[in-house]
Structure 1
């Protein structure tokens, strides 16, 4: 009789507590904070906001919790405290997130994937959605010229770890480290500037990555990844670009966004805005823009592969094509760089070392420079530097010295002095110098 009573109590307990909250993870980013609730089963939930003070309340039906709130890592400036409260319904569990400001949460469940089980994701977008400029090394460009901008996208991040190596190392950390190294090298080069799509361990939507590049006026987008397959044998780096099938599918989506095409396509966009929505003319301009971006992507990939072959093993010696969301921009040449196979034990260890990461970053920089020396965009410092036998006029500005000007153009002080017949290193504000092409 006692055994039957115990079994009855157990069945009642299982019926009441059909789910369990196993953990809470918080991922702050420049634009939002993401909260992830790790659940034992598929969550049934409700949520609402309260003011005075600002709070987000999440009710989890038929759920119990084993979460230790003091152990939760929280570096978000938006969330000040996490606690539980008395639920409205018996058997439910109520979570309360105390916030510094009012937000409009986006809440959705995720099914098990990879190393994760059931999850409830809560995105809290910041009220000010304007992305703050990242602290980068901005080198003052000469009058009438601009720097060539390279957007560097560190794959995965935050809730999305990417591939996981045999020793449990995450792709997201390797890609961010290589991206930071590449950005540092680029920002040391006169005429080049780097922009990172993410600067820390947080997730950036795939569509938003190309938007960040576009807003920065990027001439090129490189997305850094580390490959993975079930077989631990494959090794080596590769370079991928958008397949024509994906390009054709994306075209249909872009045609529906007449309003945004002007800002996306620069001068071409201005022409499109004057076509009165003519779909045939619009498609022609978009076709030309995307074809040019894909052709440039292929040409740049060949230069990068040639440089990478000098320092790392290649898995594919020719650029590969794939249907990848991060490469879909019709107006920016875009490449995905697989730095190696994290699924290979030997290469996993290599990808973790500073020296190997630096080799990859240096090869990418050399590939970029190699291509743009031969194909410099008009109006860039790179174009001024490579024009053989030509010179440009530079007006000396306040705070400039010959050494500063020489570094900006990537030539020596003596070359500027000789070209301008200068007997002294002293220059004056307003003085006009002829800068020889390299």
Structure 2
């Protein structure tokens, strides 16, 4: 089973650290990175995950967007600012791609996890270049061929109450987990797992899991009747004979046991 490629872009960082919360304690560049690292850890067992940055680093919007090339999804992570009363989560989709369903699911999941309103999924068109995206990072990412490009605003750091939530590691972690769950649901990851593509007694991060999964899909191994594989169990002479013959049949295309 192919692993989808997912690019997470923690917005700002490096020389771009001016965006701060109402109290000044919250720095958007750092908050975006914290969320992105949590999200990476939740997605890693299921996706090939790439971060545009994994530390405080200066990157242009064009550089970030270009890293989406070859990815199945690109998510740029931010927090918003306007007035001290502004509130809620907003998520932006590309004007050219129309991924409203997954955008809404992610945005609502984050809002619910943070206990703040969901302002909806939106598209923002450039006034200077009609038909193009207002946000450079979205425009470059979708121009590079990424089929799903989103920009997430995780609440308003200009709002004192929401700044506190953005500074709360437990809330940040919970919202990252909620995001990962929405993404897994969109790609039907749980459905695939429950279909028996991998045995229920094998952890996703076990080194041998991809090989066992591949052997199952090739119909070389079947496992136990209860849906387990017992990966650390020893191989009997009987099982070795069956495995050898099945491999021979797969390689040669010749049916030996009828």
TM-score, normalised to structure 2, is 0.70
Q: Which residue of 2 aligns with 1:300?
A: 102
2:109, 2:175 within 8 Å by CA — same for their partners in 1?
Answer: no
2:136 is matched with which residue? 325
Q: For 2:225, which of 407, 418, 426 is the aligned residue?
A: 418
Question: Paired residue for 1:183?
Answer: 40
2:175 aligns to what?
Answer: 360
The structure with the largest helix share of the pair is 2
Q: Distance in 2 between matches of 1:361 and 1:423?
A: 32
Distance 1:146 1:349, change over 3 A: same
Distance 1:401 1:241, change over 3 A: closer
2:8 alignment partner in structure 1:
152
Report how far residue 416 of structure 1 moved. 3.5
TM-superposition CA deviations, 1:399-432 (whole Å, max 9, x none): 97679736x99xxxxx842289989944568766
Stretches of structure 1 lacking an aligned partner (at least 5 in a row): 1-144, 245-290, 374-381, 393-398, 410-414, 433-438
CA 1:391–1:173: 2 relative to 1, 3 Å: closer
Shift of 1:149: 1.3
2:92 corresponds to 1:240:
yes
Q: Do the aligned partners of 2:21 and 2:160 also contact (CA within 8 Å) in 1?
A: yes
Aligned in 2, Cα 1:391/1:174: closer, same or farther, shift over 3 Å?
A: closer
Bigger relative contact order, structure 1 or 2, given CA contacts below 8 A and separation 6+?
A: 2
Q: State whether residues 305 and 367 of structure 1, in contact with CA within 8 Å, keep that contact through their aligned partners in structure 2.
A: no
Q: Distance in 2 between matches of 1:159 and 1:236?
A: 27
The 8 Å contact of residues 222 and 335 in structure 1, kept in 2 or not, is answered as: yes
Structure 2 distance, partners of 1:155, 1:194, is 16
Distance 1:386 1:422 in 2: 14
Q: 1:337 to 1:205 in 2, by over 3 A?
A: same
> Distance between the aligned counterparts of 1:302 and 1:384, measured in 2?
21
Which residue is 1:311 aligned to?
113
Considering only CA atoms, is the larger Rg found in Structure 1 or Structure 2?
Answer: 1
Measured in 2, the distance between the counterparts of 1:319 and 1:357 equals 20
2:87 maps to 1:221: no
Deviation at 1:237, TM superposition (A): 1.6
Of 42, 45, 57, the residue aligned with 1:202 is 57
TM-score by length of 1: 0.43
In 1: Cα distance, 2:226 partner to 2:185 partner: 26
Q: Which runs of 5+ in 2 are unaligned?
A: 125-133, 199-205, 217-221, 248-258
Distance 1:163 1:418 in 2: 57
| Superposed CA RMSD | 3.5
The equivalent of 1:350 in structure 2 is 165
**Deviation by residue 1:221-253 (Cα, 9 ceiling, x = unmatched):** 011101001x201122221122x3xxxxxxxxx
**What residue is the counterpart of 1:405 in the other structure?**
212
How many correspondences in the alignment?
213
